[in-house]
Amino acid sequence: MQIEIISYADSQMEYEGYAAFDGSITTRRPGVLVFHAWAGQDDFARVQAEKLATLGYVGFAVDMYGKGRRGNSAQENSALMQPFMQDRAMLLERAKVALNTLQHHPQVDRHRIGAIGFCFGGLCAMDVARAGLEGVRAAVSFHGLLGAPVGVPGGAKPLHTKILALHGWNDPMAKPADVVAWANELTAVGCDWTLEAFGHRGHAFTNPQAAEAANGMQFCELANRRAFAAMEDFLCETLQEKLPSSAAVNMGACATPA
């Protein structure tokens, strides 16, 4: 596995992405953006990029906040995230800079791009999908925020980017009514969307550090395993254009790019 720390920038600031890929593969392959949770790019996001590399992708852990800008408490995390929640156009523009960086990576097929994200990052991945950006074929949200942006121009209709939401049904940040609104929104634009909901699970069920059951945030090994298996299958189908059985996915059938 090869690791690259990639500096990229826009007119606002400099960012630091983290790319991982199998250097023994000589052909271009799909790239997958990994959007971090509310604290900023961290070890968890970077590990996901590395896991994607073992599956035959270029994994790219995005930096939404800027080089060195990270939160160390709930208050700091919220202060970093809230400007994006209030200005979804800014969120999308920041995500586009990361997408452009990944699409110009020499190992990446720019026409086969996916996006995954966790919590706040799930919303980022969803907004990238909503925009219908060229080359973005798939987006996966892990216990992400689901609300549609207000006043942000959408992409082309029908929306061709396929979407998978992996959702804890008891998530206090995306309640059943929010899920229904999300489904209606995507149905109206002709999107091929899939919802996998985990009963009795709340927010952050893939995060081993989540241990606040009273506040609806609790890691669950079973839901975590099922969610990542669903992601592997979904990305294999949408980015590598293969339709493996579950057993084949677990054996790494999609580790070789199409």
* pLDDT computed for residue 256 by the predictor: 44
Question: pTM, whole model, 2 decimals?
Answer: 0.93
Half-sphere exposure of 113 (CA within 13 A, CB side): 25
pLDDT in tens, the chain (258 residues): 999 999 999 999 999 999 999 999 989 999 999 999 999 999 999 999 999 999 999 999 999 999 999 999 999 999 999 999 999 999 999 999 999 999 999 999 999 999 999 999 999 999 999 999 999 999 999 999 999 998 777 777 899 999 999 999 999 999 999 999 999 999 999 999 999 999 999 999 999 999 898 888 999 999 999 999 999 999 999 999 776 555 444 434 454 444
DSSP 45-114: HHHHHHHHHHTTSEEEE--SS-TT---SSHHHHHHHHHHHHH-HHHHHHHHHHHHHHHHTSTTEEEEEEE
What letter represents residue 12's amino acid?
Q
Q: What are phi and psi of 117, to 5 degrees?
A: -160, 160
SS3 of 15, please?
Answer: strand
| Alpha-carbon separation of residue 56 from 141, 153, 196, 202, 245 (angstroms) | 20, 33, 24, 31, 17
CATH of domain 2-250: 3.40.50.1820
First CA to last CA distance, the chain: 19
Tell me how many degrees the CA angle 164-112-142 measures, rounded to the nearest 5. Answer: 25
DSSP-derived letter for residue 214 is G
Which pair of structure tokens corresponds to residue 246?
């579950």
Residue 195 burial (CB count, 10 A)? 15
* pLDDT computed for residue 257 by the predictor: 42
Beta carbons of 113 and 31 less than 8 angstroms apart: yes
* pLDDT computed for residue 245 by the predictor: 53
What letter represents residue 255's amino acid?
A
Sequence-distant (6+) residues with CB within 8 A of 76 are: 39
Beta carbons of 138 and 157 less than 8 angstroms apart: no
Beta carbons of 119 and 203 less than 8 angstroms apart: yes
Residue 41 burial (CB count, 10 A)? 26
* pLDDT computed for residue 238 by the predictor: 97
